[in-house]
């Protein structure tokens, strides 16, 4: 079911993982950001848009994780955009034999048979200097950064003062890091770029979890930064998304954190042994 979060901006949330698909109303139709995640959920989204007499005129994927590059035939054949790096990642993946079987293996087992992959990852990369999504609707600024995943982009819907954060600024998921030479440094760069536009947003929509409003925009940036700093300094973070304070159903995030801590926290600080 679509829920309005700002004028002309609606969300459609998945049952598993609480993925937020974002709908932005334009002059002749809508922009759909991160459609997902099961076939039935995407068909429901398409049906909701038909009831509103709103055709899909464009799509956008914030980054190349599987749950952000999905699509459904009922959403139509509108161009689906992403950053150049996001699209290049997907093109490389789709060029390899057996990609569909490998993608299916990576799906959560609860929904593996319900996620359609026929239109998976068919992203058109925008030139690297593209400042906004090319469509006939409110200006949607592209904020590309190196945090979380290759070619990740947040989107600022300027007229609506809404920040679509991709897989950052969640109230249920801690920061998750890409496999780069400096994942912690890259994540801090991403947070700085989001902080640069925080005063222009009254609403933040994360890839997973609940919508944040007003002072929650900066509060979530600060929470994510504190978590990243804790890993950088090999300290146990005081974070409501892990441990006994985790939201019911999200207790597994503590295991995710522990794995990241073991991988990324400096060994000398973590266990007293030399690097």
| The pLDDT of residue 275 | 34
| The pLDDT of residue 156 | 98
Domain that holds residue 77: 3-271
Supply the pTM of this predicted model: 0.95
Distance between CA atoms of residues 80 and 72, nearest Å: 12
What's the CATH code of the domain at 74? Answer: 3.60.15.10
Assign 3-class secondary structure to 181-232: CCHHHHHHHHHHHHHHCHHHCCEEEECECCCEECCHHHHHHHHHHHHHHHHH
Coil, helix or strand at residue 41: helix
Each residue's pLDDT tens digit, 66-108? 999 999 999 999 999 999 999 999 999 999 999 999 999 999 9
* CA proximity to 164, closest of 3, 273, 32, 64: 32
| The pLDDT of residue 267 | 56
| The pLDDT of residue 56 | 98
Would you report the helix, strand and coil content of the chain in percent, each value rounded to 5?
35, 20, 45
Q: Is residue 63 within 8 Å of residue 151, measured between CB atoms?
A: yes
Distance between CA atoms of residues 203 and 211, nearest Å: 7
As a whole number of Å, the CA-based R_g of the chain is 18
Tally of domains in the chain: 1
Structure tokens at 77: 């054949």
Q: Please identify every stretch of the chain with a pLDDT value under 50, giving residue numbers as ranges.
A: 268, 270-275
Distance between CA atoms of residues 137 and 23, nearest Å: 12
Distance between CA atoms of residues 136 and 36, nearest Å: 23
Cβ contacts of residue 185 below 8 Å, gap of 6+? Answer: none
């Amino acid at each position: 079911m679509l829920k309005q979060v700002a004028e002309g901006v609606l969300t459609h949330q998945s049952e598993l993982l609480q993925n937020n698909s974002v709908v932005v109303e334009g002059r002749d139709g809508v922009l759909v950001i991160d459609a997902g995640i099961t076939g039935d959920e995407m068909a429901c989204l398409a049906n909701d848009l038909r009831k509103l007499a709103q055709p899909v005129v464009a799509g956008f994927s914030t980054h190349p994780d599987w749950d952000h590059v999905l699509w459904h035939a009922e959403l139509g054949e509108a161009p689906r955009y992403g950053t150049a790096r996001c699209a290049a990642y997907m093109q490389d993946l789709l060029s390899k034999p057996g990609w569909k079987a490998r993608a299916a293996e990576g799906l959560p087992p609860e929904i593996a048979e319900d996620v359609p992959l026929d239109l998976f990852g068919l992203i058109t990369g925008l030139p690297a200097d593209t400042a906004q999504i090319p469509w006939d609707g409110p200006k949607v600024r592209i904020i590309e950064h190196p945090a979380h995943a290759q070619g990740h982009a947040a989107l600022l819907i300027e007229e609506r003062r809404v920040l679509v954060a991709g897989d950052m600024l969640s109230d249920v998921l801690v920061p998750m890091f890409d496999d780069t030479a400096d994942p912690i440094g890259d994540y801090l760069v991403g947070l700085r770029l989001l902080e640069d536009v925080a005063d222009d947003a009254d609403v933040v929509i994360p890839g997973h979890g609940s919508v944040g409003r007003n002072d929650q925009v900066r509060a979530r940036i600060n929470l994510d930064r504190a978590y990243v700093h804790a890993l950088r300094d090999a300290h146990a973070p005081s974070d409501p998304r892990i441990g006994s304070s985790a939201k019911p159903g999200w207790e597994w995030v503590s295991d995710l954190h522990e794995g990241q801590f073991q991988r990324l926290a400096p060994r000398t600080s973590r266990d007293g042994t030399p690097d």
